[in-house]
Structure 1
Amino acid sequence: MDDVTNDSGSQVILQASQVCKTFGQTRALDNAEFELRVGEVHGLLGANGAGKSTLSKVIAGHVFPDSGKIIYRNRALSLRSAREALDCGIAIVMQETSLAPDMSVLENIFLPELGKPGRLSYRRLRQQAKRILSDLVHEHALPLDTEVRRLSSAQRQLVEIAKALALDAGLIIFDEPTASLSPNEVEQLFGIMANLRANGKALIFVSHRMEEVFAITDRVTVMREGATVAKSVATRELTQTDLVRHMVGREIGSIYAVPGLRSPEAGAEETFAVEGLRALPAVKNVSFRVHRGEILGLGGLVGAGRSETAEALFGLRPYQAGTIKLNGKAFRPRKPRDCVKAGIGFVAEDRRVQSIVPDLSVRENLLLAHLGAHSGFLLNYSSRREKIAELLDLLDMPASRLLDANMLNFSGGMQQKIIIARWLMLNPSVLILDEPTKGVDIGTRSSIYSMLRRIAERGVSIVMISSDFEELLGVCERIIVMSDGHTIADLPSAHLDEEKLTLLAAPRTSTERNTKLLQELTQRYGGAGFWAIVDEGRVICLNAVVAEASADPGFQAGESPSFDQTAIPTALQHPQDDFVAEPNGERRTFLMPIPSKRGHDLGWIGLVTTSPTPPSVQNVRDLVIGFSALDHEVEAA
């Protein structure tokens, strides 16, 4: 039967009206309303606990409503199971993955088909899976025969997305699909979603990230406390302030603009130093330093080795080489308890699996780190009473909730704040946070950022891992960039933006191709070659090959000097379609801008020579354009 057509002429594939759902004493949905059209991406927004995930699960057959009406393709829908929803062409990509951990990636992608009668052709399924992953630009990132339990959180999320795409559903719900993805991977996902929309699919997109909502959605519906407070509003008619006001019921300023933000004091002591860390296979050569009261960001794409680095530093993963210094003294953690006793706290990426004990009360969860640091027969909880009272004020939580019997009664954002507060019980000198705002709404993110800055102001050194480059830039004073297990840059956040971070974090396989180009340039013409971002009086070097020391440009990969700190300031300030000579006549430099096929700025390729008769500019240009490695690099970017 044909879908309903609304006043705008678009087909309505789904209508939900007066949907209610209660869990115990909690009213999760309160007469919720929702409408979805064919060929649109519809944003479903709200703070933690607003009811958006519950409504998504009702539509997908995971939860049966107490009352209300859902019309799908002009017929009343009364789903009793997720299987019935799949049979109707409705799929959901869950925020918390629902995969079979002991089965392979291939088996999980086609999990719904495994329950059907008849024989399966694994050869056909493998070919289809490769096509899907190729569309996701992750054909090699997800080995089909690997067990899902061996995958990272981000890789598991990609399997969920591939599973939904394999169903060829007419309606796909994406519940926080980008929580573990890097900016590049988010852009790739949005490209896939745009293609699905163009092919007539109806998509529901649940997200906390404002920039994503404005980038991909056509309309939005906002929920608060289980009710719909803004229904089917065109995204182009809204501002970020409008959305935040609908979501939290009040005005809030920029989530990053917190009064009192400051960098650590000049000459602040170095509290934590890592040099040459190797924890194979994921961590190959990692080095960084963090000072007292500093928030240091650890950025990179999925698979860069950031989480594995944190696990090695906290004694959860053995490491084969490298040195760690804590407060100036050598430190070698062999197990987490060594770190806890030394004053190092760690908030893991997957809070449900790695951080909370759901059947323990809030008070007991808060005191878990205390138990790890405490020795003796008695628990000695009384010694922490004053600290608990202080932390309750920091959490903005009444003391009566300390005895709440189940942590799962709290929103994801409050769970995360309690986990962070757990480590503050021990007055740590270093706190490592892995994706601290994953799956958290904008209002709670703002309070977590404020909480982290208050912690830093007390002198705690914070190392923050995040796949959200905007978050790193907004919260951290300095950012360490990782790629394929290596640290490749250590730069002040003021020198960076999201595009620069994305280029710096490019996989080393891409950098190796670019290195071959620079080697070819210097082998043919001598001198030095580099790939860099040139912007606002500063150069950020992405890669460099120096064949002749006399032609050294004065910077190397990962550095960001100002023009006047380099050996080629004139060429950087005034790039031309020819070699530009420095006033002293020692170096001549040709700079060539490199755009991607979609018009994105990929930086500049430079050749520096000390020869009085530099090579033909056209020959250099032809070599750069014709070099297959660069073509591959441009395509990947």
Structure 2
Amino acid sequence: MALLELRDIWKRFGVTQALSGAAFDLRAGEIHALVGANGAGKSTLSRIISGHIRPDSGDILLNGARLRHAGARDAIRAGITMVTQETSLAPDLSVLENIMLPRIAMPGRLDWRALRRQAQALIGEIGQSEVLRPDMKVSELSIGQRQLVEILKALALDSRIIIFDEPTAALSPHEAEQLFGLMRSLATRGHGLIFVSHRLEEIFAVTDRVTVLREGRIVASGLATETLQQGELVRLMVGRELQDIYNRGGRSRRRTDGAVVLRVNHLSCPPMVRDVSFEVRAGEVLGLAGLVGAGRSETIETIFGLRQPVSGTIELDGKPFRARSPRDAIRAGIGLIPEDRRGQAIVPDFSVRENLLLAHLGARSAVTLGYGTRGAAVRALLERLELPERRLLDANMLNFSGGMQQKVILARGLVLAPRLLLLDEPTRGVDIGTRSSIYAMLRRIADEGVACVVVSSDFEEVIGVSDRIAVLSDGASVAELPAELIDIEKLGMFAAPRSSAEKTHTVLAELVARYGGTAYWMAAEGGRLFCFDRVGDDPSADPGFVTGGFPEIAATAIAHAVGAPAGALHRAADGARPTLLVPISGKRGHSLGIVGLTFGRAPADFDAAAVTQYILAALGERRDAPNETRIEA
């Protein structure tokens, strides 16, 4: 018997038929994906299950018994909870109070000491004890941290059925992996989990079965995830094949000849932005990569005038620029697509047209609205983004799906024909079809000469859509490199917070203090080295690269050691630059890079085998015998 079953569910909103005879079943102990394009009906079906809305007709069965809940409170009592994509937290309350908010509405006295202990245990389960404290005020949290609190609020109820609606949209890859581990643990304990996500790699990584919705109808029900291919799932979702999602086809080689539109030098806006430098040229897409908390969003908000810098310089078209307000930025030809749709971009009481033309009003000094002057531009943008013009008359943006909302916000940023467009998580919470159209639009406007800066927590996306990538970590620039030279693993190593990379840095410093020379953490692939960290400044032991560098191996001073057996000291043909390279790997055997040590002249007492074991003991989870491993280029 299914834990939860829905039969013949119908739901209409005005003239829109959201669900047409939908059916769904969930088993105890499984993670069941609910997927589909934006507007397919996933959120509507989820909200019906969680009691937020009532179906027009159809049956809901819980453990075989018919269930009729009048609202979300009844659903919670029945053991059903939903984690929403747009957080529903009370910003003036603490993390603890928000986690336990559903308990407040229930009868009986509250034991806050016990609730605090439970909250701390839950925070520990998702690996956030060091950065998320029960007494923190929710209004002071980042959007990613607020999403974690939303998840914790659902977990605190220990419901038999938990619906996760785009739970990772605002999370870093590390945070998402911790959440997946927790979800697997819940399923093992007999909970039934419904997982709504537009990220196909997550669906294949964590779910057991998949149900696909398209235009309110079920087109595939309860398919075993392990039997599916990604292309097949995309066809089911959007009704057609999507080739070249990042729109690379036919695109000219990466543009480096355009004039520099934006140059940022040593920008500081504490506490999140400490020392950021990069430049972007006309016709170029620059990705700002990093983990949540790296200062990416705060950097572009500073450029746009939402925050004021304390030091550093910003140049626009070669001239000093400082936006004291967003209006200054808009009038200077800068557009911003913000990260938080609900909190930063949408005015719920405005119509779709009024929301789309907000930037137009910001740039206009006349008394009248002047909407007619933008009519042709708006129609052209709507056609590009495949948005029906009649929807401009909708009275409320919140009636749109997340993907359609994002298209309207993107059109708002483009309607003034900016020279520089700043996009903060432009595809967060939208389906693969909408993402494909946004990528195509981004490439088209870049080809027209617009300079684009894209912030994304999705490393695959930032690599796929960018020409170059500037990597930020803990509020500072750490590397800037062409996108075609980097992959997800190396980007993650560059982006690692300095706090988590401190262990590696300490080992490098200890090696140099004990033996001299130069120590470094790097990766070698495709004929290049990628240096994540380096300690030591002895010119005679210079390996030929610096932190953040990505030279060709042949151009470095350690080419003789790459490809040689690891864990032994290797010298060049002339006896110079004796070098030890030690590969380190994680607990699942995945590569964590290479630790190297290069000398001008090796100390007489240097024991390569002992140093190798020291490095592996300090940094590696798996001890490969040195003579079994080679460093491949």
Superposed pair shares fold, TM > 0.5: yes
Equivalent of 2:463 in 464, 469, 473: 473
Superposed displacement of residue 283, structure 1: 1.0
- The aligned length equals 621
Superposed displacement of residue 575, structure 1: 4.5
Alignment of 1:298-447 (within 5 A): 298-447=288-437
Are 1:455 and 2:455 an aligned pair?
no
Equivalent of 1:181 in 162, 171, 175: 171
Superposed displacement of residue 623, structure 1: 2.6
User: Equivalents in 1 of 2:205, 2:390: separation in Å?
Assistant: 42
Matched letter for residue 154 of structure 2: A
Task: Return closer, same or farther for 1:593/1:99 CA change in 2, 3 Å cut-off.
Answer: same
Are 1:83 and 2:70 an aligned pair?
no
Task: Return closer, same or farther for 1:78/1:612 CA change in 2, 3 Å cut-off.
Answer: closer
Are 1:622 and 2:606 an aligned pair?
no
- Please report the TM-score for the alignment, with normalisation by the length of structure 1: 0.94
Task: Return closer, same or farther for 1:599/1:426 CA change in 2, 3 Å cut-off.
Answer: same
Moved more, 545-554 or 155-164: 545-554
Name the SS of the counterpart of 1:572 in structure 2.
Answer: coil
User: Equivalents in 2 of 1:573, 1:605: separation in Å?
Assistant: 14
Superposed displacement of residue 303, structure 1: 1.1
Task: Return closer, same or farther for 1:626/1:235 CA change in 2, 3 Å cut-off.
Answer: closer
User: Equivalents in 2 of 1:618, 1:186: separation in Å?
Assistant: 38
Are 1:145 and 2:135 an aligned pair?
yes
How high is the sequence identity, in percent, across the aligned residues? 53
In the alignment, what sits opposite 1:635? none
Superposed displacement of residue 44, structure 1: 0.3
Superposed displacement of residue 263, structure 1: 4.2
Moved more, 264-273 or 16-25: 264-273
Superposed displacement of residue 326, structure 1: 0.6
Are 1:238 and 2:236 an aligned pair?
no
User: Equivalents in 1 of 2:379, 2:33: separation in Å?
Assistant: 39
In the alignment, what sits opposite 1:9? none
Are 1:221 and 2:211 an aligned pair?
yes
Equivalent of 1:15 in 2, 5, 8: 5
In the alignment, what sits opposite 2:600? 610
Structure 2 unmatched ranges of 5 or more: 623-633
Q: Is the 8 A contact 2:308 2:324 kept in 1?
A: yes
User: Equivalents in 2 of 1:71, 1:398: separation in Å?
Assistant: 38
Superposed displacement of residue 505, structure 1: 1.4
User: Equivalents in 1 of 2:170, 2:493: separation in Å?
Assistant: 19
Superposed displacement of residue 97, structure 1: 1.0
Superposed displacement of residue 141, structure 1: 2.1
User: Equivalents in 2 of 1:276, 1:333: separation in Å?
Assistant: 17
Are 1:71 and 2:51 an aligned pair?
no
Equivalent of 1:260 in 250, 253, 259: 250
Matched letter for residue 547 of structure 2: A
Matched letter for residue 558 of structure 2: I
Are 1:131 and 2:121 an aligned pair?
yes
Name the SS of the counterpart of 1:250 in structure 2.
Answer: coil
Moved more, 535-544 or 566-575: 566-575
Superposed displacement of residue 584, structure 1: 3.4
Moved more, 574-583 or 420-429: 574-583
User: Equivalents in 2 of 1:231, 1:55: separation in Å?
Assistant: 14
Name the SS of the counterpart of 1:516 in structure 2.
Answer: helix
User: Equivalents in 2 of 1:572, 1:268: separation in Å?
Assistant: 37
Q: Is the 8 A contact 1:264 1:292 kept in 2?
A: no
In the alignment, what sits opposite 1:107? 97
Moved more, 91-100 or 609-618: 609-618
Task: Return closer, same or farther for 1:258/1:535 CA change in 2, 3 Å cut-off.
Answer: closer
Superposed displacement of residue 618, structure 1: 2.0
Task: Return closer, same or farther for 1:134/1:351 CA change in 2, 3 Å cut-off.
Answer: same
Equivalent of 2:522 in 532, 536, 547: 532
User: Equivalents in 2 of 1:94, 1:227: separation in Å?
Assistant: 22
Let me know the Cα RMSD of the aligned residues: 1.7
Provide Cα deviations, 1:562-583, integer angstroms capped at 9, x if missing partner: 1022221111243433111123
Q: Is the 8 A contact 2:531 2:550 kept in 1?
A: yes
Q: Is the 8 A contact 1:264 1:293 kept in 2?
A: no
In the alignment, what sits opposite 1:504? 494
User: Equivalents in 2 of 1:46, 1:626: separation in Å?
Assistant: 46
- Please report the TM-score for the alignment, with normalisation by the length of structure 2: 0.95
Name the SS of the counterpart of 1:261 in structure 2.
Answer: coil
Name the SS of the counterpart of 2:437 in structure 1.
Answer: helix
Task: Return closer, same or farther for 1:119/1:392 CA change in 2, 3 Å cut-off.
Answer: closer
Matched letter for residue 402 of structure 2: G
In the alignment, what sits opposite 2:474? 484
User: Equivalents in 2 of 1:109, 1:505: separation in Å?
Assistant: 30
Alignment of 1:557-576 (within 5 A): 557-576=547-566
